[in-house]
Amino acid sequence: MAAFLFIASVVLGLLSLATLGFVAVRAVRTKLRAAPNPTTEPPRVGEPFRYPFLARRIDDTTYELRHFTFGGADRIRVLTDSARRVLALDFQYADTTTFDQMVSDYAETLGRPTGIRSSGHRRRAYWENGRTRFELINWIVGDHRVMMSRLTDLLHRP
């Protein structure tokens, strides 16, 4: 639940779909309004990845943030281009997280999803405006359920 609340606050701060200023994605708002702090502000899509020291490098363009770097998500990955500009953020949640509840929770603040799709063992809901997309994805592999979300910069796709 803590991971969901954190991610919800990130998405609310970053994705105010009422204004949908997705290109200039905002950082998580803190009460102290201090200078950028890598432990309280997530990477921003469309901007350079400034905190690679907080991550394990997977390959030339993928970084996995060290566990608990941002509030308890099971896994947070930063996908970049060759210039290290953030193209997407992937958040993986505990397998106890439910798709329907997350869609409902996000819809309360982000409005109705742009689309919801289901096929076989995969379900997806997304919100977008042509510049940025936020999506929830749930799929089942054997006895395991995977729940993740992805924030993608649509203007800087590879």
**Domain definitions of the chain by residue range:** 2-22+56-66+74-153
| Mean pLDDT, residues 18-44 taken together | 43
Assessment of whether the complete model's pTM goes beyond 0.75: no
Cβ pair 124, 117 in contact under 8 A: yes
Beta bridge partners of 75: 92
- Residue range 137-153, pLDDT digits in tens: 999 888 888 899 999 99
Can you point out the beta strands (E) in 21-131?
Answer: 55-59, 62-65, 75-80, 86-93, 115-119, 122-128
